[in-house]
């Protein structure tokens, strides 16, 4: 009762009574799942995958998709009301840690062992994304790599045949494009998160993965010289006029459209951009390609950035057996994994998936991740959610007026001291 | 009718009335119980919960939490983001009351002067109020779009120079851009109330003033506007209530951004509670917002009493 009432309380906070409601007993052949894979994030493909699961197992999948940004709020309301679905999608890293610490998830070690998932899931993903507090909680469904995606024709027309590997080469490339009257970089930071990849890579390339991990855990300060240096480097790019104007007025798809149309040359984005572009008729490797974020200091280990989309089982799943079946199916069924990679532009955590399913661009992305010395979650998945909110707002503020970045960092550090109770 | 029969009929009537009274009371209780139960579950209990959680550090996910006393309130009242949201709320309320009221009054005066096609214009100006705030918000997001939005295209066409100002993405203009959209929608409502008020003004008075040599402006200022006072009170009271509910359009158009620059107290509370997972802290903001709203509603009821007195 208390949970129901608490849920009603939350509903009132957002001005809606929709949160009110208790759990409903389900038939034995059902499993409930809520996820954020809507629209361009692969909804259609997922329906097909669920349909195949149902026909193979006789278990009906009752799904409730919620838009990516609204999902963060929606799942909180359901958790507070004790009304979580059997399974829900969640981002591996600090966000999952947050929900695990709150006692909302059920460990899946037994299911993992019974389905021999150690032989199925790539070791680096299994080690880095699935275990929390020494237990396994998350099944990786797909993962992404953030790279510099560019329009091949625009680069060729500007005479750029070799993609930059070092910072100096990168600057030369940007200047060449600018001199030709092409906007070098598109960024759509309206929803703030697309700007985070710049901070992530600049900090990783200048201060290294160990320092970044400390900053994400609240063990370093946003006013440290390392952070200032990374932000300073970012500012040098904005000062030079390499970014398209009004970044905060565009979403990531707007920025992707600018690159696709040739209005801008490149955008730093996750591999889900390939799903979006392929859906719009662009040919991977022909119309677009990517290069790795350039090295700034050769002595610093090469790290790649990206998110792992996971699936977790709620602590009080009403249909545990069916939920475990679905979790195992989604990660181990090669056809499901192949389909998901194709529709979403995701890389498969399943090592048995035939690499021929990948486009040439995705195959290179896979190799890039495999060759990297470290895989880091992007900012809003690497640090705790309250801290991520503060940092993401700072990135958007930086894109509006980079000149005040040192003052912004001071404010972010004040927020960090509050969040991490330093 | 004989005396005994008369007494019997009177007694029977009294009995009937008594039974009916009792039945009425039962019906009153039954009929009131339903809305009261709904009101208690969805308004009173959550309200009490908000008070309760405002003294805790509950994050929304955890089953357990600690009591932190007045810590949330002291934090809220000393943070820069709260001051920013409070100032924005004040700007929002003043603008959301003044602009639609003035625009509605202007339109009502224009359309009441027997211009051709007045009824068509009345319908057109009233139309936005029939749309949901979400639809209005999305329409204005497109109008304010920097590269291909209607507003910037019009400015570019007039000035002959490309104009790409990002109205909703700049901290200096975001909240004002939302106020424009809000006013556009709400003006129709004010206009209709003022038009109703204008029909109640006797034509003799304006005619007499005209015969006495009063100009159109003097007639409006000294005759029409004083007689529109009851309508004005209704318009302002409704604007206050509507502006307090104006969360959805802000959520759609800016979400409180860019970087909190268009946060109102309601938006700030939402972001702290649901995005930063600080439900205790967000509850403290909602309690403060509740107290502010309570004060405004108290003033509103006093104004309503004044309206009654005017009509009486």
Q: What are A208-226's pLDDT values in tens digits?
A: 999 999 999 999 999 999 9
What is the C-alpha end-to-end distance of chain B, expressed in Å?
Answer: 46
pLDDT of residue B113: 74
Q: Are strands A135-136 and A131-132 parallel, antiparallel or unpaired?
A: antiparallel
Cβ neighbours of A79 in B, within 8 Å:
60-61
* Yes or no, beta carbons of A192 and B60 under 8 Å apart: no
Q: Where are the beta strands (DSSP E) in A100-211?
A: 131-132, 135-136, 138-143, 146-151, 183-185
> In the 8-state DSSP scheme, what is residue A367?
H
pLDDT of residue A301: 92
Q: pLDDT band for A377, please (50, 70, 90 cuts).
A: very high
Is the pLDDT reported for residue A307 higher than 90?
Answer: yes
pLDDT of residue A130: 95
How far is A387 from chain B, CA to nearest CA, in Å?
Answer: 8
Distance separating alpha carbons of residues B307 and B312, to the nearest angstrom: 8
Q: Which two tokens stand for residue B82?
A: 């709260």
Q: A158 with A211, same domain?
A: yes
pLDDT of residue A10: 45
Phi, psi angle pair for A304, to nearest 5°: -115, 155
Phi, psi angle pair for A94, to nearest 5°: -60, -30
Q: Which residue's entry shows tokens 């009490």?
A: B48
Region A376-395: what's the mean pLDDT? 95
Q: Where are the domains of chain B?
A: 80-311
Q: pLDDT band for A20, please (50, 70, 90 cuts).
A: very low
* pTM of this structure: 0.84
* Yes or no, beta carbons of B146 and A385 under 8 Å apart: no
- Give the burial class of A152: count Cβ atoms within 10 A of its Cβ; 0-12 exposed, 13-18 middle, 19 or more buried: middle
Q: Which of A9, A10, A248 sits opposite B166 (nearest CB)?
A: A248
* Yes or no, beta carbons of B61 and A99 under 8 Å apart: yes
Cβ neighbours of B170 in A, within 8 Å:
248, 400
Which carries the bigger pLDDT value, residue B279 or residue A123?
B279
pLDDT of residue A12: 46
Contact A274, A347 (CB under 8 A): no
Q: Which residues make Cβ contacts (< 8 Å) with residue B28, sequence separation at least 6?
A: none
pLDDT tens for B103-121 read 999 999 998 877 788 888 8
How far is A103 from chain B, CA to nearest CA, in Å?
Answer: 7
Considering Cα of B229, then B235, then B240, then B243, what sign does the dihedral take? negative
Least confident among A255-259, A322-326, B291-295: B291-295
Among residues of chain B, what percentage have pLDDT more than 70?
Answer: 94
Select the highest-mean-pLDDT range: A204-213, A274-283, B218-227.
A204-213
- Residue A31: helix, strand or coil by DSSP? strand
For residue A35, give its domain range. Answer: 2-143+307-376
DSSP3 helix / strand / coil % (chain A, rounded to 5): 55, 15, 30
Is the pLDDT reported for residue A18 higher than 70?
Answer: no
Q: Which two tokens stand for residue A299?
A: 């002595």
The sheet with strand A60-65 has its strands ordered as A60-65, A30-35, A87-91, A308-313, A138-143
Q: A326 with A264, same domain?
A: no
* Yes or no, beta carbons of A246 and B146 under 8 Å apart: yes
Is the pLDDT reported for residue B206 higher than 50?
Answer: yes
How far is B215 from chain A, CA to nearest CA, in Å?
Answer: 49
Q: Where are the beta strands (DSSP E) in A360-418?
A: 374-376
Residue among A69, A90, A249 with most chain B CBs within 10 A, to mutate: A249
Q: Where are the beta strands (DSSP E) in A277-376?
A: 288-291, 303-305, 308-313, 374-376
Q: How far from A403 is each of A174, A231, A399, A409, CA to CA, in Å? A: 21, 10, 10, 12
Q: Which residue's entry shows tokens 């990297």?
A: A372
Q: A94 with A216, same domain?
A: no
pLDDT tens for B28-84 read 898 999 999 999 999 999 999 999 999 999 988 888 899 999 999 999 999 999 999
* Yes or no, beta carbons of A393 and B257 under 8 Å apart: yes
pLDDT of residue A7: 45
Q: A160 with A278, same domain?
A: yes
We report the CATH number of the domain holding residue A367 as 3.40.190.10
- Residue A308: helix, strand or coil by DSSP? strand
Identify the CATH number of the domain defined by range B80-311: 1.10.3720.10
Q: Which of B62, B164, B278 sits opposite A102 (nearest CB)?
A: B62
CA–centroid distance for B25 within its chain: 36
Cβ neighbours of A402 in B, within 8 Å:
none
Contact A347, A309 (CB under 8 A): no
Contact B247, B88 (CB under 8 A): no
Q: How many structural domains compose chain A?
A: 2
Q: Which of A9, A79, A98 sits opposite B49 (nearest CB)?
A: A9
Q: A277 with A414, same domain?
A: yes
Angle at A117 between CA A111 and CA A120, to 5 degrees: 155
Is the pLDDT reported for residue A1 higher than 60?
Answer: no
How high is the mean pLDDT of chain B? 89
Contact A381, A143 (CB under 8 A): no
> In the 8-state DSSP scheme, what is residue A338?
H
Residues 134-173 of B with CB under 8 A from A: 145-147, 164, 166, 168-171
Cβ neighbours of B275 in A, within 8 Å:
72-73, 385, 389
Q: A348 with A369, same domain?
A: yes
Q: A326 with A393, same domain?
A: no
Q: Which two tokens stand for residue B26?
A: 């039962």
How high is the mean pLDDT of chain A? 90
Q: A132 with A160, same domain?
A: no
pLDDT of residue A19: 35
Q: pLDDT band for B19, please (50, 70, 90 cuts).
A: confident
Q: A166 with A252, same domain?
A: yes
| Number of residues that this document lists for chain A | 422
Q: How far from A319 is each of A29, A130, A360, CA to CA, in Å? A: 8, 21, 40
Whether B184 and chain A come into contact, CB under 8 Å, resolves to no
pLDDT tens for A244-260 read 999 999 999 999 999 99
Q: A125 with A139, same domain?
A: yes
Contact A156, A262 (CB under 8 A): no
Q: Which residue's entry shows tokens 């979790």?
A: A327
Distance separating alpha carbons of residues B208 and B153, to the nearest angstrom: 49
* Yes or no, beta carbons of A393 and B259 under 8 Å apart: yes
Is the pLDDT reported for residue A5 higher than 60?
Answer: no
A400: closest chain B residue by CA: B170
Is the pLDDT reported for residue A15 higher than 70?
Answer: no
Contact A288, A282 (CB under 8 A): yes
Q: A293 with A336, same domain?
A: no
* Yes or no, beta carbons of A104 and B49 under 8 Å apart: no
* Yes or no, beta carbons of A76 and B277 under 8 Å apart: yes
| Number of residues that this document lists for chain B | 312
Among residues of chain B, what percentage have pLDDT more than 90?
Answer: 58
Region A349-361: what's the mean pLDDT? 92
pLDDT of residue A4: 44
CA–centroid distance for A67 within its chain: 14
Q: pLDDT band for A227, please (50, 70, 90 cuts).
A: very high
Cβ neighbours of B271 in A, within 8 Å:
389
* Yes or no, beta carbons of B49 and A103 under 8 Å apart: no
How far is A98 from chain B, CA to nearest CA, in Å?
Answer: 8
Q: Which residue's entry shows tokens 């955590």?
A: A349
Whether B84 and chain A come into contact, CB under 8 Å, resolves to no
Angle at B46 between CA B42 and CA B51, to 5 degrees: 155
Region A253-269: what's the mean pLDDT? 97
Is the pLDDT reported for residue B306 higher than 80?
Answer: no
Q: Which two tokens stand for residue A147?
A: 């790279």
pLDDT of residue A345: 81
* Beta partners for residue A62, in sequence order: A32
Name the residue among A353, A377, A88 with its Cα closest to residue A216: A377
pLDDT of residue A240: 97
Q: How many CB pairs under 8 A join A and B?
A: 109
Q: Which two tokens stand for residue A349?
A: 């955590």
B287: closest chain A residue by CA: A13
Angle at A192 between CA B271 and CA B90, to 5 degrees: 45
Cβ neighbours of B46 in A, within 8 Å:
8-13
SS3 string of chain B? CCHHHHHHHHHHHHHHHHHHHHHHHHHHHHHHHHHHHHHHHHHHHHHHHHHHHCCECCCCCCCCCCECCCHHHHHHHHCHHHHHHHHHHHHHHHHHHHHHHHHHHHHHHHHCCCCCCHHHHHHHHHHHHHCCHHHHHHHHHHHCCCCCCHHHHHHHHHHCCCCCCCCCCCCCCHHHHHHHHHHHHHHHHHHHHHHHHHHCCCHHHHHHHHHCCCCHHHHHHHHHHHHCHHHHHHHHHHHHHHHHCCCHHHHHHCCCCCCCCCCCHHHHHHHHHHHCCCHHHHHHHHHHHHHHHHHHHHHHHHHHHHHHHHHC
Whether B270 and chain A come into contact, CB under 8 Å, resolves to yes
pLDDT tens for A129-160 read 999 999 999 999 999 999 999 999 999 999 99
Distance separating alpha carbons of residues B279 and B269, to the nearest angstrom: 9
Q: Does this complex have an ipTM over 0.85? A: no
Among residues of chain A, what percentage have pLDDT more than 70?
Answer: 93
């Amino acid at each position: 009762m208390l949970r129901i009432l608490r849920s009603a309380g939350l509903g009132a906070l957002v001005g809606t009574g929709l949160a009110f409601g208790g759990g409903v007993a389900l038939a034995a052949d059902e499993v409930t799942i809520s996820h954020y894979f809507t629209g361009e994030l692969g909804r259609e493909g997922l329906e097909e995958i669920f349909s195949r699961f149902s026909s193979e197992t006789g278990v009906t999948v009752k799904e409730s998709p919620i838009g990516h940004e609204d999902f963060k709020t929606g799942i909180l309301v359901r958790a507070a009301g004790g009304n979580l679905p059997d399974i829900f999608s969640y981002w591996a890293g600090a966000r999952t840690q947050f929900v695990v610490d709150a006692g909302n998830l059920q460990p899946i070690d037994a299911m993992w062992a019974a389905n021999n998932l150690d032989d199925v899931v790539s070791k680096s993903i299994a080690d880095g994304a699935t275990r929390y507090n020494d237990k396994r909680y998350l099944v990786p469904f797909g993962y992404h790599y953030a790279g510099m995606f560019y329009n091949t024709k625009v680069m060729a027309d500007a005479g750029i045949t070799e993609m930059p590997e070092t910072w100096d080469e990168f600057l030369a490339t940007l200047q060449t494009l600018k001199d030709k009257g092409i906007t070098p970089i598109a960024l759509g930071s309206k929803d703030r998160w697309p700007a985070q990849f710049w901070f992530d890579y600049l900090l990783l390339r200048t201060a290294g993965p160990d320092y970044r991990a400390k900053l994400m855990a609240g063990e370093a300060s946003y006013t440290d010289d390392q952070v200032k240096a990374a932000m300073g480097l970012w500012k040098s790019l904005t000062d030079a006029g390499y970014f398209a104007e009004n970044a905060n007025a565009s979403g990531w798809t707007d920025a992707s459209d600018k690159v696709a149309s040739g209005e801008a040359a490149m955008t730093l984005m996750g591999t889900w951009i390939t799903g979006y572009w392929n859906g719009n008729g662009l040919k991977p490797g022909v119309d677009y390609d990517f290069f790795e974020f350039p090295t700034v200091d050769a002595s610093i280990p090469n790290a790649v950035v990206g998110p792992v989309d996971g699936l977790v089982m709620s602590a009080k799943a009403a249909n545990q057996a069916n939920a475990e079946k679905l979790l195992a199916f989604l990660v181990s069924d090669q056809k499901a994994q192949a389909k998901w990679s194709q529709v979403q532009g995701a890389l498969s955590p399943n090592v048995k998936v035939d690499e021929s399913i990948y486009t040439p661009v995705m195959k290179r992305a896979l190799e890039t991740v495999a060759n990297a010395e470290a895989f880091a979650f992007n900012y809003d998945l690497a640090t705790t959610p309250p801290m991520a909110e503060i940092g993401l707002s700072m990135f958007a503020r930086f894109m509006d007026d980079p000149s005040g970045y040192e003052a912004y960092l001071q404010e972010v550090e004040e927020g960090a001291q509050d969040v991490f109770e330093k | 009718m004989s005396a005994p029969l008369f007494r019997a009929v009177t007694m029977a009537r009294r009995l009937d009335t008594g039974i009916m009274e009792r039945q009425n009371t039962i019906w009153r209780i039954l009929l009131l119980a339903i809305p009261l139960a709904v009101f208690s579950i969805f308004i009173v209990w959550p309200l009490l919960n908000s008070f309760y959680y405002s003294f805790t550090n509950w994050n929304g996910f955890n089953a357990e939490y600690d009591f932190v006393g007045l810590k949330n309130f002291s934090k809220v009242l000393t943070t820069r983001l709260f001051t920013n949201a409070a100032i924005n709320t004040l700007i929002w309320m003043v603008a959301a009351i003044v602009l639609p009221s003035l625009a509605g009054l202007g339109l009502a005066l224009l359309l009441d002067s027997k211009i051709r096609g007045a009824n068509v214009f009345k319908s057109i100006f009233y139309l936005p109020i029939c749309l949901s705030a979400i639809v209005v918000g999305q329409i204005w997001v497109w109008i304010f779009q920097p590269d291909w939005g209607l507003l910037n295209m019009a400015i570019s066409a007039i000035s002959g120079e490309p104009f790409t100002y990002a109205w909703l993405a700049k901290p200096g203009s975001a909240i004002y851009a939302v106020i424009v959209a809000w006013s556009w929608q709400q003006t129709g409502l004010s206009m209709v109330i003022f038009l109703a008020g204008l029909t109640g003004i006797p034509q003799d008075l304006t005619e007499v003033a005209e015969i006495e040599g009063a100009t159109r402006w003097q007639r409006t200022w000294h005759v029409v506007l004083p007689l529109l006072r009851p309508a004005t009170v209704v318009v302002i009271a409704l604007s206050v209530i509507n502006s307090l509910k104006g969360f959805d359009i802000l959520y759609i158009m800016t979400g409180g951004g860019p970087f909190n620059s268009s946060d109102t107290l309601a938006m700030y509370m939402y972001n702290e509670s649901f995005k930063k997972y600080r439900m205790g802290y967000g509850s403290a903001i909602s309690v403060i917002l509740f107290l502010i709203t309570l004060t405004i509603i108290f003033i509103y009821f006093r104004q309503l009493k004044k309206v009654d007195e005017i009509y009486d």
